[in-house]
């Protein structure tokens, strides 16, 4: 596979991962990259979102790893992302979405806190 085809395939997987985020849920850039089979490529996800022109893509469901909106506070994009998330029932406080902390271990994920 040529480098161009490989890049296009990676971009397609990223867009597919973003489209798969359910309404009312969010993922971090790194989580999207991992779901697309491109772990460690969070910046690629951000670049692709920044150049995307598909109005149907649920770009607003992608946040920084700490749950914050990545755009500058008070900007048009920041306001639009906050508004779209709230319309889906996501609680946004000061540009941040509180997400549950991941379990500390596989056992805890399966069986709950011990």
- The pLDDT tens digits for 96-111 are 998 766 656 666 667 7
Average pLDDT of span 30-41: 96
Question: How many Cβ atoms from other residues are within 10 Å of residue 74's Cβ?
Answer: 8
Output the pTM of the full model. 0.82
54: domain range? 3-100
Letter string b/e over residues 78-111, b meaning 16 or more CB atoms within 10 A of that residue's CB: beebbeebeeeebebeebebeeeeeeeeeeeeee
Beta bridge partners of 68: 96
Does 113 map to a domain?
Answer: no
Residue 111 confidence (pLDDT) = 74
The continuous run of DSSP H or E covering 97 comes out as: strand 96-97
Give yes or no for residue 48 having a pLDDT over 90.
yes
Q: Are 27 and 63 in contact (CB under 8 A)?
A: yes
CATH number of the CATH domain containing 40: 1.10.10.10
Does 67 map to a domain?
Answer: yes
Does 109 map to a domain?
Answer: no
Does 79 map to a domain?
Answer: yes
Does 11 map to a domain?
Answer: yes
Range 17-20, long-range pairs (CB < 8 A, 24+ positions): 18/45, 18/49, 18/57, 18/58, 18/59, 18/61, 18/62, 19/57, 19/58
Residue 99 confidence (pLDDT) = 79
- Number of structural domains (the chain) is 1
Does 83 map to a domain?
Answer: yes
Does 58 map to a domain?
Answer: yes
Does 38 map to a domain?
Answer: yes
């Amino acid at each position: 596979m040529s480098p161009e085809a490989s890049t296009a395939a990676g971009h397609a997987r990223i867009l597919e991962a973003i489209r798969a985020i359910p309404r009312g849920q969010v993922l971090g850039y790194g989580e999207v990259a991992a779901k697309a089979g491109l772990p460690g490529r969070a910046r690629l996800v951000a670049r692709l979102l920044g150049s995307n022109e598909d109005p149907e893509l649920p770009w607003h469901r992608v946040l920084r790893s700490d749950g914050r909106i990545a755009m500058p506070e008070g900007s048009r994009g920041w306001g639009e992302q906050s508004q779209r998330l709230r319309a889906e029932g996501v609680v946004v406080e000061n540009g941040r979405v509180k997400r549950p902390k991941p379990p500390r271990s596989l056992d805890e994920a399966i069986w709950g806190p011990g």
